[in-house]
Amino acid sequence: MSQVRRLQKQQTRRAILDAALMQLSPERSFVSLSLREVAREAGIAPTSFYRHFRDMDELGLALVEEGGLALRQLMRQARQRAMGNEDSVIRISVEIFMEFLHRNANLFRLILRERSGGSASFRQAIQDEIRYFTDELSEDMARLAVLRKRPIMDAWTLAEAIVTIVFTQAGEAMDLAIDEQNQVVERIMRQLRFLVAGAEELAKQSSKNYVA
């Protein structure tokens, strides 16, 4: 395949992905989209769609994978910048998460809605992305605890709870007014601080019991 044709194929694939996202809204879910609608929005014939995706499920999987990777990279960079300070890690991570949500609202809606609906492969892909996100966060939480010499109890369970809170509450806040969103952000950060403090206290109690 020539360089020009390869570039054209990439551009068309990108147009299809963007066309699907553009049609999502608070009232419109991914499963309600038709292949013909997406093709029309992308400016291609329906038959051309199949040169890039086997079906709508494969298109959705590509969107989930792309969004999950972009979000993990952003959050990884945020945690690395603030690794020396626990409160900074929490604040910067939540703020960047909300910024990503605002820039990619329809993609986030897709992930939230389809994690409990859609096809089995769709649900599994979303759960995989959330698990990758949780795994990376747990590794960073454990590393931060070592740096601060303040052990935490069960970093993975702590990370799982953090991810659950952030995904759930951010999803509820995405269509609120800005001042209401800011209130949600502050509430999320308080909840995360409580979680971290609890994990640290459990680690202390466990250490005392072990010594005793």
1-53 matches 55-211 in fold: no
Pick the CATH number of 55-211 from 1.10.3720.10, 1.10.10.10, 1.20.1250.20, 1.10.357.10: 1.10.357.10
Task: Report yes or no: 60 and 122 within 8 Å, Cβ to Cβ.
Answer: yes
Neighbours of 209 (CB within 10 A): 8
Task: Report yes or no: 42 and 15 within 8 Å, Cβ to Cβ.
Answer: yes
Task: Report yes or no: 182 and 209 within 8 Å, Cβ to Cβ.
Answer: no
**Domain coordinates of the chain in residue numbers?**
1-53, 55-211
Q: Taking 80 as the threshold, does the pLDDT of residue 78 lie above it? A: no
Q: What is the pLDDT of residues 163-208, one digit of tens each?
A: 999 888 888 888 888 888 889 889 999 999 999 889 888 888 876 6
Q: What is the pLDDT of residues 29-40, one digit of tens each?
A: 888 899 999 999
Distant-in-sequence, close-in-space partners of 126: CB < 8 Å, separation ≥ 6: 64, 111, 114, 115
Fold assignment, 1-53: Arc Repressor Mutant, subunit A (1.10.10)
Task: Report yes or no: 146 and 190 within 8 Å, Cβ to Cβ.
Answer: no
Residue 18 has a pLDDT of 95
Q: What average pLDDT does the structure give for the chain?
A: 85
- The amino acid at residue 167 is F
pLDDT bucket at 211, cuts 50 / 70 / 90: very low
Q: What is the pLDDT of residues 123-166, one digit of tens each?
A: 888 889 889 989 988 888 888 777 777 788 888 999 999 999 98
CA distance 23 to 44: 16
Q: Taking 70 as the threshold, does the pLDDT of residue 84 lie above it? A: no
Give pTM, 2 decimals: 0.80
Helix (H) or strand (E) holding 148: helix 120-148
As given in the structure block, the two tokens for residue 141 are 């939480």
**Look-up of token digits 């604040």:** 91
